[in-house]
Structure 1
């Protein structure tokens, strides 16, 4: 479930992972691209939700355990409404 906006507002610092070399070593390029595109859509107000490093790690674990199709559906379900379709489209465009 996404972080409540009132709770999120209480955090005084928000860190971005863009360009972090350690993050780029942890994930395959297509997952880095997915995170970047989702983050862009969130910043542009086209999408609500969070694409966290923890979420990408969970996607990788789910892909190992259940296969990529199930992992994709689990990740998509973390978004609401038309956000699900937008994330599915982004994943399709990237080849996930």
Structure 2
């Protein structure tokens, strides 16, 4: 009796092709997300100072409140106060 022939090679080839296709889809998605991430990082950021009064009003802020909520401004204010104290000889 001749050995029984199986179709293992064709099934393996189909599985390998399916795996390559799935991997290429995942890789293309990752590339697309990475490009979008890099593009987003390159685009200029809008600060609260750049917004118009109307846009600030839409989010419930006034221009005078910006100094109280942004950490950069708070640090600048603290630094300015400390500089003023040093210049008066208090510290």
The structure, 1 or 2, with the larger RCO (C-alpha pairs under 8 Å, 6+ apart) is 1
- TM-score for the superposition, normalised by structure 1: 0.22
Bigger radius of gyration: 2
